[in-house]
Structure 1
Amino acid sequence: MTFPADPGCAQQVRRVISAHLRYWRRSSLSDAVLLATTEAFANAVTHGSRTPGDLITVAMENSNVQLRVSISDEAPGRLPIVPSGTDSLAESGRGLALIEAFTDVWGVKPADEGLGKTVWFAFNTAAEATEPTPAETEPFSSRPAIGESRPAPLPSYGERRQRA
């Protein structure tokens, strides 16, 4: 999914992520995934965009082993790093430290074309799969149950960037 580099889109990003987590039966990860996604999206808006017209791509992957989220921007520049000695009372500068604290693994990679970067993070789901919730013990179909709908992807705001 692509979004404008606008802080006002963060709520929409959270809604889409939440819908996918519910559909994938990964609600137990919601708080951590939403916190990390919000921080990565805010960093992409603040540090990875030059104008509100720039696009930020949010991608999710779900498997039996891992839930992975990637946030990509198009801005040139240095790759982000976790600052050392972050002040816990500071209003900014803690985003990557929070991502590091709440995820199982994370990283940054430059875009293949050399313009932009992707911050990604993942949560191990293998242990979660061995202890199903009561709803997961019911027969599973890839089709939604009556009254349950698949989360609809939002229309992209532009087609300039491929999914990461």
Structure 2
Amino acid sequence: MTLESPPIVTTSGFCRLQLRAEPAQFGDVRRIVGAHLRLWGRSGLVDAAAMCVTEILANVHRHVNPPECELVLENMPEGVRAAVGDQSGELPVVIEEVDWFAESGRGMFIVANTANLWGVSPTAGGGKQVWVLLREGV
């Protein structure tokens, strides 16, 4: 995995990774997400968090050149927040009527229907951060 810095791992509930959104490395990212959530006692959110992060990273890979981004995981009282920031101002699009047989176009639909909350926040320099909040037992 191409990381600009090693992951920051703490039991306090915060992790930041600088990475390239390359599909060959998405499995490694899912394992990192899963390890942090298990460490924080949030095992019930691992599958949803790994899937949402992967879908957002796939958008970075497809739409941002170069596909450099930052993944931030936060263990919060209300749930786990996962956010992917990049330098593109292009906003993600949720297609309301998904073509399940198409090669692409389902990712943000899946994210929007998996996360309890999701959104996009602008970042310095014209970029954005796409985030999800996942809650257990909701």
Residue number in structure 1 paired with 2:129: 118
Q: Once the two structures are superposed, what CA deviation does each residue of 1:109-160 show, in whole Å capped at 9, x if it has no partner?
A: 222221x2111000124x58xxxxxxxxxxxxxxxxxxxxxxxxxxxxxxxx
User: Could you tell me which of 61, 69, 79 is aligned with 2:74?
Assistant: 61
The C-alpha deviation readout for 1:68-87, integer Å capped at 9, x for no partner, is: 00011113x43112123221
Q: TM-score, normalised by structure 1?
A: 0.68
- In the alignment, residue 32 of structure 2 is paired with which amino acid? V
Q: Return 5+ residue gaps in structure 2 as ranges.
A: 1-16
Q: Does the 8 A contact of 1:79 with 1:110 survive in 2?
A: no
Unmatched segments (≥5 aa) in structure 1 = 129-164
Q: After superposition, what is the alpha-carbon deviation per residue over 1:26-70, rounded to whole angstroms, capped at 9, x for unaligned?
A: 1111111111111011111111x213xx42100011022121000
CA radius of gyration, larger in? 1
Greater share of strand: 2
Matches within 5 A, 1:1-164: 1-47=17-63, 49-51=64-66, 54-75=67-88, 77-114=89-126, 116-125=127-136
Contact 1:57 1:72 in 2 (8 A): yes
CA distance in 2, matches of 1:6, 1:33: 18
Contact 2:121–2:128 under 8 Å retained in 1:
yes
For the residues of structure 1 that align with 2:75 and 2:42, how far apart are their CA atoms?
9
Give the Cα separation in 1 of the matches to 2:128 and 2:28. Answer: 22
The one-letter amino acid of 1:59's match is V
Number of aligned pairs?
122
Q: TM-score, normalised by structure 2?
A: 0.80
Tell me, in whole angstroms, the C-alpha distance in 1 between the residues paired with 2:24 and 2:87.
Answer: 19
Q: Name the SS of the counterpart of 1:87 in structure 2.
A: coil
Could you list the structure 1 runs, at least 4 aligned residues long, displaced by more than 4 angstroms after superposition. Answer: none
The answer to which structure, 1 or 2, has the higher relative contact order (CA under 8 A, 6+ apart) is 1
What amino acid is aligned across from residue 110 of structure 1 in structure 2?
Answer: P
Q: For 2:73 and 2:105, locate their aligned partners in 1 and report how far apart those are by CA, in whole Å.
A: 25
Instruction: Note closer, same or farther for the CA distance 1:5–1:33 as it changes in structure 2 (3 Å cut).
Output: closer
